[in-house]
Homo-oligomer: A and B are copies of this chain.
Amino acid sequence: MNPLDLYSYISIAVSLLTFAFVAWLFAWIKKQPSENEKIATVGKLIRDGAHTFLRKEYIMLAKFAGAVALLILLFLPTPIWNGGYEENIVMAISYLAGNVFSGMAGLIGIRVATIANIKTAEAARRGIGPAFLAGFRGGAVMGMAVVGSTLLGTALILLITGNTTALLGFSFGASSLALFAKAGGGIFTKTADLSADLVGKVELGIPEDDPRNPAVIADNVGDNVGDVAGMGADLFDSSIASIAAALVLAAVLDKNSTDKVYSIMVLCYASIGLFASIVGVFLARMGKKGPTSALNNLTYSTTAIFAALTAIATYFLNFDWRIWGASMVGLAVGVIIGITTDYFTDDGKKPVQNTAKASETSPALTILSGFSYSLISVLPALIGIGASALIAYKLCADIGGGELMFGFPIGALYGIAMAAVGMLSIVGMIISNDAYGPIVDNARGMAEMGELGEEVLNITDELDSAGNTVKAITKGFAIGAAGLTVIALLGAFLSEVNEAALEMGKDIITTLDIMEPTVFFGMLVGAAIPAVFSAMLIRGVDKNAQRMIADIHRQFKERPGIIDGSQTPDYTSSIEIATVGALRELIPAGLMAILITLAVGFIGGVQAIGGFLTGNIVAGLLLALFMSNAGGLWDNAKKYVESGHNGGKGSDAHKAAVIGDTVGDPFKDTAGPSINTQITVVSLVASLTATMFLNVSIF
Q: Using CB atoms and an 8 Å cutoff, list the residues of chain A in contact with chain B.
A: 198, 202, 358, 361-365, 367-369, 371-376, 378-379, 382-383, 385-387, 389-390, 393-394, 408, 412-413, 416, 487, 490-491, 494, 511-515, 517-525, 527-528, 531-532, 534-536, 538-539, 541-542, 604, 610-611, 614-615, 618-619, 621-622, 626, 659-660, 662-663, 666, 699
Q: Which residue of B lies closest to A364 (CB)?
A: B662
CB A377 to nearest CB in B, in angstroms, measures 9
Would A363 and B365 count as touching, CB distance under 8 A?
Answer: no
Q: Which of A382, A604, A621, A666 counts the most B-chain CB atoms under 10 A from its CB?
A: A382
Give the contacting residue for A535; candidates B375, B408, B512, B663; CB below 8 A: B375
User: Which 9 pairs across A and B sit closest by C-beta, in order of nearness?
Assistant: A364-B662, A386-B524, A393-B517, A375-B535, A372-B535, A386-B521, A512-B514, A375-B531, A390-B521
A337, chain B: closest CB distance, angstroms: 12
27 pairs of residues in contact across A and B, judged by CB atoms under 8 Å: A198-B361, A198-B362, A364-B659, A364-B663, A369-B539, A372-B534, A375-B534, A376-B535, A376-B536, A378-B528, A382-B525, A382-B527, A383-B524, A385-B524, A389-B517, A490-B514, A511-B513, A511-B515, A512-B513, A512-B514, A513-B513, A514-B519, A527-B618, A527-B619, A528-B622, A622-B622, A659-B659
CB distance from A362 to the nearest CB of B (A): 7
Contact check, A535 vs B373: say whether CB atoms are below 8 A apart.
yes
Name the residue on B nearest A531 (C-beta).
B375
Shortest Cβ distance from A533 into B: residue = B375
Structural contact, B538 and A371, CB atoms closer than 8 A = yes
Cα(A536)–Cα(B385), bound, Å? 23
Given the contacts A375-B532, A538-B372, A621 and B362 also touching, CB distance less than 8 Å: no
Residue on B nearest A610 in the bound complex, by CB: B514
| CB atoms of A531 and B361 under 8 A apart | no
**In whole angstroms, what is the CA distance A369 to B536 when docked?**
10
Contacts of A371 in B (CB 8 A): 535, 538, 663
Using Cβ atoms and an 8 Å threshold, which residues of chain B touch A541? 368
- Tell me whether chain A's interface is mostly helix, strand or loop, or mixed: helix
Q: Bound complex: CA of A383 vs CA of B369, how far in Å?
A: 31
Does B517 contact A390, Cβ atoms closer than 8 Å?
yes
* Known pairs A387-B521, A539-B372, A542-B369; A378 contacts B531 (CB<8 A): yes
**Chain B residues, Cβ within 8 Å of A372:** 534-536, 538-539, 542
Known: A364-B663, A542-B369. A523 touches B618 (CB 8 A): yes
Name, among A369, A412, A615, A662, the residue most crowded by chain B CB atoms within 10 Å (CB to CB): A615
Choose among B365, B386, B387, B619 the residue that contacts A618 (Cβ–Cβ < 8 A): B619
What is the CB-to-nearest-CB distance from A695 to chain B, in angstroms, rounded to a whole number? 20
Measured CB to CB, the nearest residue on chain B to A494 is B515
**Chain B residues, Cβ within 8 Å of A494:** 515
Chain B residues contacting A389 (CB-CB under 8 Å) are 517, 520-521
Q: What would 5 more interface pairs be, CB under 8 Å, given A372-B536, A382-B527?
A: A368-B541, A523-B614, A524-B621, A527-B618, A527-B621
Cβ–Cβ contact A520 & B663, under 8 A: no
Contacts of A614 in B (CB 8 A): 514, 523
In the complex, what distance in Å separates the CA atom of A202 from the CA atom of B626? Answer: 31
A286–B567 alpha-carbon span in the complex (Å): 67
Cβ B367 vs Cβ A663 within 8 A: yes
Please determine whether A538 and B390 come into contact, CB atoms closer than 8 angstroms: no
**Chain B, residue nearest A512 (CB):** B514
How far is A663 from B202 in the complex, measured between Cα atoms in Å? 23
Instruction: Say how far A602's CB is from chain B's closest CB, in angstroms.
Output: 14
Q: Are A699 and B394 in contact (CB under 8 A)?
A: yes
Q: Which of B363, B413, B532 contacts A376 (CB 8 A)?
A: B532
* Residues from chain B with Cβ under 8 Å of A522 in the complex: 386
A365 and B372 CA atoms in complex are apart in Å by 19
State whether A538 and B662 are in contact (beta carbons under 8 Å apart), knowing that A513-B513, A531-B376, A699-B394 are contacts in the complex. Answer: no
Which B residue sits closest to A546, measured CB to CB? B361
**Residues of B contacting A412 in the complex (Cβ-Cβ under 8 angstroms):** 517
CB distance from A513 to the nearest CB of B (A): 4
Whole-angstrom CA separation of A490 from B515 in the bound complex: 9
Given contacts A379-B531, A389-B517, are A666 and B368 in contact (CB under 8 A)? yes
* A641–chain B nearest beta-carbon distance, Å: 16
Cα distance A358–B393 when bound, in Å? 49
Min CB gap A183→B, angstroms? 14
Q: Are A618 and B524 in contact (CB under 8 A)?
A: yes
How far is A249 from B375 in the complex, measured between Cα atoms in Å?
Answer: 35
Residue of A368, A487, A626, A662 most packed against chain B (CB within 10 A):
A368
State how many angstroms separate the Cβ of A486 from the closest Cβ of chain B. 11
Residues of B within 8 A of A373 (CB): 535
User: Which residues does chain B contribute within 8 Å of A382, judged by CB atoms?
Assistant: 524-525, 527-528
